[in-house]
């Protein structure tokens, strides 16, 4: 939609069943709780697919959803492919917020108030930086968590 999805893959020497078990052991179910689970992820793990989010110790609305597949590969290895996708609500909210900020910027230009123009530019830049950099911070954390769990290197892929 509005943001670019990021794609990754890695191979591990664990079998598909072991990968599934590691994910299950490190993933809490989707439940509402005031307490943070003592797991790495929260979401759903199926036999060959998963849809999870990284559990963070801080609040980040831009925490992407991790959608992935587990496949048997050659040489008795298992291939895990996943993409990071922002929640739809965040994408829609960001689009609406940008529309309102552009309207504010245009109206500031029309009334020719330098202070209003400056404020509009600063707010637009702040929104862009939030939308661009917050998901990137979590992306690195997710990659490191997968590397630690599966003892391998995560490789970014080109857009599918």
N-term to C-term CA, the chain: 14
Cβ pair 105, 123 in contact under 8 A: no
pTM beyond 0.95: the answer is no
Provide the strand spans (E) within 38-77. 41-45, 49-54, 65-72
Phi-psi region of 23 (alpha: psi -120 to 50; beta: other; left: phi over 0): alpha
Pairing, β 6-12 against β 65-72:
unpaired
Instruction: Give me the sign of the Cα torsion angle 124, 139, 79, 38.
Output: negative
Which tens digits make up the pLDDT trace of 42-100?
999 999 999 999 888 777 777 889 999 999 887 888 999 999 888 888 888 888 888 88
Any residues with CB less than 8 A from the CB of 17 and at least 6 apart, and which? Answer: none
Per-residue model confidence (pLDDT) at position 106: 84
19 pLDDT tier (thresholds 50, 70, 90): very high
Share the mean pLDDT of the chain.
83
To the nearest whole percent, how much of the chain has pLDDT over 90?
A: 26
Pairing, β 65-72 against β 78-85:
antiparallel
Comparing CA positions, the residue from 2, 4, 3, 1 lying closest to residue 159 is: 4
Class of domain 6-87+137-157: alpha beta
Average pLDDT estimate for 113-122: 82
Three-state secondary-structure class, residue 118 = helix
Average pLDDT estimate for 123-129: 82
Sequence ranges of the domains in the chain: 6-87+137-157
Burial profile 111-141: b = 16 or more Cβ within 10 angstroms, e = fewer: eeeeebbeebeeebeeeeeebeebbeebbee
Paired with 8 in beta bridges are 82, 156
């Amino acid at each position: 939609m509005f943001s670019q999805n990021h794609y990754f893959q890695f191979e591990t020497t664990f079998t598909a069943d072991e990968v599934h078990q590691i994910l299950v052991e490190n993933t809490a179910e989707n439940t509402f709780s005031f307490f943070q689970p003592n797991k790495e992820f929260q979401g759903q793990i199926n036999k060959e697919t998963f849809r999870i989010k990284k559990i963070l110790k801080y609040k980040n609305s831009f925490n992407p959803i991790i959608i992935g597949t587990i496949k048997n590969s050659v040489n008795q290895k298992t291939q895990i492919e996943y993409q990071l996708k922002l929640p739809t609500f965040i994408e829609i909210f960001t689009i609406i917020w940008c529309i309102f900020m552009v309207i504010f910027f245009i109206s500031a230009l029309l009334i020719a108030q330098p202070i209003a123009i400056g404020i509009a530019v600063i707010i637009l830049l702040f929104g862009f930086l939030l939308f661009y950099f917050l998901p990137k911070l979590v992306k690195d954390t997710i990659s490191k968590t997968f590397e630690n769990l599966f003892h391998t290197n995560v490789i970014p892929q080109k857009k599918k």
